[in-house]
Amino acid sequence: MNREGTTAPNAAGRGPLAGLRVLEIASMAPGPFACTVLADLGAEVLRVDRASDVDPDTRGSRDPLARGRRSIAVDLKHPDGAALVRRLTAGADVLVEGFRPGVAERLGIGPEDCRAVNPALVYGRMTGWGQSGPLAPRAGHDITYLAVSGALGLIGPPGRPPVPPVNLVGDFGGGGMLLALGILAALYERERSGLGQVVDAAMVDGAALLTTALHGLRATGDWQGDRGENLLDGGAPFYTTYETADGGHMAVGPIEERFYAQLLTGLGLSDDPDLPAQYDRERWPELRQRLAAAFKERTRDEWTALFEPTDACVAPVLSPWEAHLHPHNAARSVFTETAGVRQPAPAPRFDRTPGAIQGPPPLVGQDTRTALAHWGVDAPETDRLLAATVVVQHPHTGENR
């Protein structure tokens, strides 16, 4: 165990994916998130960082998206660097990269280059626009992929511009999580065929996929209004947030009549004959005003204490930095601490083979020697690559992490 109470990176036998080997070409946001999910579930993840990113003055990393893997630093633009990656794929089950289409091929580590070495390799590609289509070669960010997918147009108040939901829907929900699922599906199919395949995970695809249910609601006529005017987008006064007396907020979501009745009871409005009916859309603005006035009468903590014992579907709106303090999250250990950083714990949970954070984030290149040896590269070859600066070893190995 290390000082943070987690096991050393890639500890054997931890999690349902123990024994799975993943080669991660360093990228940003969605690719690392997918690899973090796989590492938390027991996969051995080796991250290939840029040799130029090794910083001798850096002595620690605090990035939760880098937890639980080892790091080697490689110059991928050097022919021997690309050759090393191809060699490493011989011992890998999965490779993950996040380049624009065509870049991996130009470097000599594209799908065909790697599958020539290992036909069973699952090659995961994480992009915003995908490997095909007119926008495939273009730059973008979470917000642009959400815009084109239709997801962004759903989010925000009526009569106001759409509001980007941080980068949770594109980068992580529609991106990294979809890639992780695709990789596991390809591995499952490999059990029958013996062959790997390319997983083309695009954030625009994933963000669109997340709107599937809303397309159904639109088809049945249950989603008729513009943004912020529908049941689940803040349009309904019983599915939104309200400010409290201390400037906090409560989330309210009792869609069902029996739960809504408990909301009214808690607010002291259950016996008000003039209160608009729950689903009287024409009087929703009036109902919203009444509920808002009621919530302003007490603090967030007071409302939380009142509603938590009920089924009114009311909860305090917590920041990510205080969520660990909620009794439910504390009881389930939803958050943990690694390398001095509080962060979400691995999920989902397994009763026989639980996942675990396999170690704190590595320094770029801190494991170059040891990881190459572990992956079958002998010491003389590693020494040659180091001398030619094809690979770089960080001077601080992190042995006391």
User: Catalytic positions, please?
Assistant: 141, 171
Q: What are phi and psi of 123, to 5 degrees?
A: -105, 105
CA Rg value for the chain? 25
DSSP state of 361: P
Retrieve residue 49's tokens: 């960082």
What Cα–Cα distance (Å) separates residue 214 from each residue in 20, 150, 151, 290? 36, 11, 10, 29
Return the sign of the alpha-carbon dihedral for residues 308, 313, 314, 320: positive
Helix (H) or strand (E) holding 316: strand 314-316
Separation between Cα atoms, residue 85 and residue 377, nearest integer Å = 11
Q: What are phi and psi of 154, to 5 degrees?
A: -90, -15
Separation between Cα atoms, residue 169 and residue 65, nearest integer Å = 16
Beta strand 44-50 with 198-202 is unpaired
Peptide bond into 380 cis (omega under 30): no
Separation between Cα atoms, residue 68 and residue 18, nearest integer Å = 13
